[in-house]
Amino acid sequence: MKERVAVVGAGIVGLAHAWSAAERGHDVTVFERTSVASGASIRNFGMVWPIGQPTATRAIALLARQRWLTLTQESGIWANPYGSMHLAHRPDEWTVLQEYYELQRHSDLGPHLRLLSTEEAFERSPAINPTGFLGALACDLEVCVNPTETIRKIPSWLTDRYEVQFCFDTAVTEVGTGQLRTATGRSHSFDRIVICSGHDFESLYPEQFVELPLKKCKLQMLRTVSQPSSWKLGAHLASGLTLRHYESFRACSSLQLLVDRIAAETPELDHYGIHVMASHDNLGRVVLGDSHEYGDRIEPFDSLEIDQLILRELQKIICLPSWDLESRWHGIYAKYPSGVNVNLDPEPRVHICTGFGGAGMTMAFGVAENQWRLWTNTTAETVA
């Protein structure tokens, strides 16, 4: 049965719900309080990153990845499925990568992984710093998108393709079963309302958020000027520091030695939650990051010390033709520590979907699709 569906928020999570609902033939309206999306979804690396997911949630990441490829092919929005490389510049990092490869080689991830010698890795990326380089773990699943461009183009595609309506500059101030109210006082009727308001826990159903262990996290990021056009990063690149950040690597017993070494050698990296990664967008710029500061430690001001630490660590692992910076910024996301994200139903046919932490670009298309399969008892086949 065709439903009138409202989605609150035009970040990646709201867009994912809007797309899954529209594909099922529903009448979809998206309400976004800013004039263009400006939240975490436009501020990230643009890394669709299945390798960061543990075995239990990898299927959702793979579904999401497939949907990214479908969307970018159908819409003509730029994406580069160039994969990833985790670089080892210290023996303990190389040990963890080797252990991870052994653990995963017979899993569904196995066919996508390769341990690379230094020579093989240099062939894939001219950016690797050769000093101390020991080898890399390559995965061919990761996809790069330009987050700002993509998140701001998807609304037009959804409108052209599925007649999804977008109400920008429209804050939703009240939601109840069958109805929502906007800041101008207008009420609208809907059969189903999905709230995807990112790290805003204060405006809609604040009492629901009080009970949850959700945290806000601030991340600092940098972006270089465009690199020479023939120069390619070759893959998303991640350092050994990243191994202590993504849950997938926690299955490795050798990880603790690396964690302990970093804590003893460079405690400032733990203090600011720094691990370093780089991605290369369609405008030739290299996006660099990042740090993690939680809860009460979040200040509106960006710290130059953090930027300098991020650059220091990146320069240990990569060499760029130009390190000149074009932009610096920070983003804030909501993180639910005990799962991929949080899905709540505060009232009948009212849903809240948030808390994706550092994996919203990777997981939202999969989570939203699964939610719509559940709510409407439809599978991908019955939709197609």
- Looking at 39, 50, 155, 273, which residue binds ligand FAD (CB under 6 A)? 39
Whichever of 152 and 261 has its CB closer to ligand FAD, that residue is 152
Site for ligand FAD in 205-224 (CB under 6 A): 219, 221
Q: How far is CA 337 from CA 165, 341, 354, in A?
A: 33, 8, 12
DSSP-derived secondary structure letter, 299: -
At its nearest, how many Å lie between ligand FAD and the CB of residue 65?
11
**The one segment of 112-120, 135-143, 223-231, 357-365 that binds ligand FAD by CB under 6 A:** 357-365
Choose the stretch contacting ligand FAD; rule: CB under 6 A; options: 39-47, 84-92, 267-275, 374-382. Answer: 39-47
Q: Site map for ligand FAD, 291-330, x if CB under 6 A?
A: ----------------------------------------
In the complex, least distance from residue 191 CB atom to ligand FAD, rounded to whole angstroms: 19
> Closer CB to ligand FAD, residue 240 or residue 355?
355
**Cα separation, 165 vs 221, whole angstroms:** 32
Least Å distance, CB 98 to ligand FAD, is 25
| Site for ligand FAD, residues 245 to 264, rule: CB under 6 A | none
Per-residue contact flags (x/-) with ligand FAD for residues 165 to 194, judged by CB under 6 A: ------xx----------------------
Residue 30 binds ligand FAD (CB under 6 A): no
Q: Which lies closer to ligand FAD via its Cβ, residue 146 or residue 354?
A: 354
Binding status of residue 44 toward ligand FAD by CB under 6 A: yes
Which is closer to ligand FAD, CB of 28 or CB of 219?
A: 219
Binding mask 90-119 for ligand FAD (x = CB under 6 A): ------------------------------
Please count the residues of this chain forming the interface with ligand FAD, following the rule CB under 6 A: 43
Distance in angstroms (rounded) separating the CA atoms of residues 358 and 92:
25
Phi, psi of 214 (to 5 degrees): -70, 145
Instruction: From residue 368, give the alpha-carbon distance in Å to each of 97, 168, 276, 339, 374.
Output: 32, 21, 29, 15, 10
Give dist(CA 76, CA 360) in Å, integer.
21
Contact assessment for residue 86 and residue 97, using Cβ atoms and an 8 Å cutoff: yes
> At 136, which helix (H) or strand (E)?
strand 135-139
- Find all residues with CB under 8 Å of 148, minimum gap 6, and list them: 42, 43
Cis peptide before 290 (omega within 30 of 0): yes
Position 276 contacts ligand FAD (CB under 6 A) = no
**CA-based nearest residue to 90, from 253, 219, 260:** 260
End-to-end CA distance of the chain: 16
Candidate list 50, 155, 234, 360; residue touching ligand FAD; CB under 6 A: 360
Is residue 200 close enough to count as binding ligand FAD by CB under 6 A? Answer: yes
Residue choice 24, 26, 43, 58 for contact with ligand FAD (CB under 6 A): 43
CB of 201 to ligand FAD, least distance (A): 10
Phi and psi of 201, rounded to 5°? Answer: -100, -5
Is there binding between residue 9 and ligand FAD (CB under 6 A)?
yes
| 357 closest CA partner among 187, 192, 218, 150 | 218
* Backbone angles phi and psi of 111, in degrees to 5: -60, -15
Nearby residues of 301 by Cβ (< 8 Å), 6 or more positions away? none
Encoded tokens for 66: 């497939």
Place of tokens 């309080």: 33
Residues that bind ligand FAD (CB under 6 A): 8-14, 31-34, 37, 39-41, 43-47, 49, 171-172, 196-198, 200, 203-204, 219, 221, 289-290, 331, 333, 354, 356-362
